[in-house]
Amino acid sequence: MNLHALDYINKNCVEVLEQASKDSGVNEAMIKGVALFAVANGYDKLSQNQKYHFDETIRPLIENVQCSGFYNPYSGDRVDCSAVLPDENLIAYYGHDETYCESCQSEADYMANRREQIERE
């Protein structure tokens, strides 16, 4: 669990929380409140009820987040990937639209390089 990533979400991409609230069918404002409280005071200070909502809705955003899968610009295919992103990469994940696990990242870099080469030729 990466509360720094949650802090980042609270400040920069609160729409992630809004979407998660919708997905779990819970009140958006309540989830945002729990998220702010958890960052400010720590998970242990949440009430039982808040912990429940934190675990259901917020925790999956900041723990065991799955790689978004690799997009192949040549074939237009998205390659599914079940790799779990390291917690320390989560801020990067929310800072960019796409963040890949190491393997997908190197694949994406390779594709980008090749594309540059082709364009130069």
Give the binding site for Zn ion (CB under 5 A).
Answer: 67, 81, 83, 100-101, 104
Shortest approach of Zn ion to residue 65 CB, angstroms?
A: 11
Q: Which is nearer to Zn ion, 45 or 78 (CB)?
A: 78
Q: Which is nearer to Zn ion, 6 or 104 (CB)?
A: 104
Shortest approach of Zn ion to residue 89 CB, angstroms?
A: 11
CB 57 within 8 A of CB 21: yes
Check the CA dihedral 11-16-18-20 and report its sign. Answer: negative
Q: Which is nearer to Zn ion, 35 or 91 (CB)?
A: 91
Helix (H) or strand (E) holding 70: strand 70-71
Shortest approach of Zn ion to residue 72 CB, angstroms?
A: 12
DSSP class of residue 112?
H
**76: phi > 0 → left, psi -120 to 50 → alpha, else beta; which?**
left
